[in-house]
Amino acid sequence: MIVAHRVEIKRLLQSTFPELERIGNLAPRVMQDFIPEFPSARLVKTAKELILRGKVRTLQHLQERHGELTKILTEYCKSSMLEDSEIMTSIDGVNRRTATTFLAEIGCIGSYASHKKLIALAGIDPTVYQSGKFEGKSRISKRGNQHLRRVIWLMTVCVIQHNNTFRTCLMKKIGARASRSRRQYLQRCINSYG
C-alpha cells in the first residue's frame, strides 16, 4: 500500500511539478514535508495539488503505522509464540522479522492436522496437469495465501544464501535433474547474494 501511494504521488508530480522529479528522491521525510507546502511550480492551486497533498499525508501516516504495527506484531509473537520463533531463528538465514511474519500468517501451528494442510494454506502444493495420455509439467497450485507463499520464498532464498548445508543439498538436487545452464544461473544468483 505504501508503494502504491509512492507511485501515485510520483505520477501526480509528473504533471504538477516535473522539475522536482529531476532534483532528487521523493522518499525522504524532507521531500514529504516539502511537497505539501509547494506542490507545483505554479502559484495556482489545482485539484491535482490538493490530491497530491492528501496522498503525501496518507503516505506519512502509513509509514508511521507500519513501524508501530511491526513492533506490536513482534511483541505478540515473542509473548505467544516464543518457542516457535526461537526454533525458526536458530536456522541460519531466518531473522526475527521474517519468522514473526511467517508465524503471524499461519497463526497457531497446532491448528493444522498435518503438514499437508499447512502446505495447502500456502498454496505450494503440487498440481498435476493431465488429460488422457498427456501428462504436463506439475507446478505449485498458488491457491493459498500469497503473503505466506512470499514469506516462505524469502526465507528459502535467505537460508540458501547463509546456510551451506541447505545450499549444498539444493545444488545436489538441482544438479541431478537440471541442465548445466540452469545450474549455472542458480549458482550466479546464489553467489550474487552470498
Nearest 5°: CA angle at 151, between 147 and 153?
Answer: 115
Residue 147 maps to a domain: yes
Spatial separation of the C-alpha atoms in residues 85 and 69, rounded to whole Å: 18
Spatial separation of the C-alpha atoms in residues 194 and 151, rounded to whole Å: 19
Spatial separation of the C-alpha atoms in residues 59 and 3, rounded to whole Å: 9
Q: Residue 110: CB partners within 8 Å, gap ≥ 6?
A: none
Spatial separation of the C-alpha atoms in residues 32 and 11, rounded to whole Å: 15
Look up cell 493444522; give the residue: 112
CB 141 within 8 A of CB 84: no
Instruction: Give the residue from 62, 79, 86, 70 showing the smallest Cα distance to 6.
Output: 62
The rounded percent of the chain whose pLDDT value lies above 90 is 2
Q: Which domain holds residue 54?
A: 2-71
The number of folded domains in the chain is 2
Start-to-end Cα distance in the chain: 30
CB 121 within 8 A of CB 144: yes
Residue 35 maps to a domain: yes
Mean pLDDT score of the chain: 77
Report pLDDT digits (tens) over 33-64.
Answer: 767 766 666 644 565 677 788 888 999 999 88
Report pLDDT digits (tens) over 159-193.
Answer: 888 888 888 877 777 765 555 565 555 555 555 44
Spatial separation of the C-alpha atoms in residues 165 and 114, rounded to whole Å: 26
pLDDT of residue 193: 47
Spatial separation of the C-alpha atoms in residues 183 and 69, rounded to whole Å: 40
Same domain, 91 and 140: yes
Distances (CA, A) of 92 to 95, 145, 163, 178: 8, 25, 6, 26
Same domain, 36 and 104: no
Q: Considering just the CA atoms, what is the radius of gyration of the chain in Å?
A: 23
Residue 137 maps to a domain: yes
Residue 193 maps to a domain: no
Of the listed ranges 24-38, 118-132, 153-167, the one predicted with least confidence: 24-38
Residue 76 maps to a domain: no
Residue 174 maps to a domain: no
Residue 2 has pLDDT above 70, yes or no: yes
C-beta atoms surrounding 83 within 10 Å: 8
* pTM listed for this prediction: 0.55
Phi first, then psi: give them for residue 134, nearest 5 degrees.
-75, 130
Residue 102 maps to a domain: yes
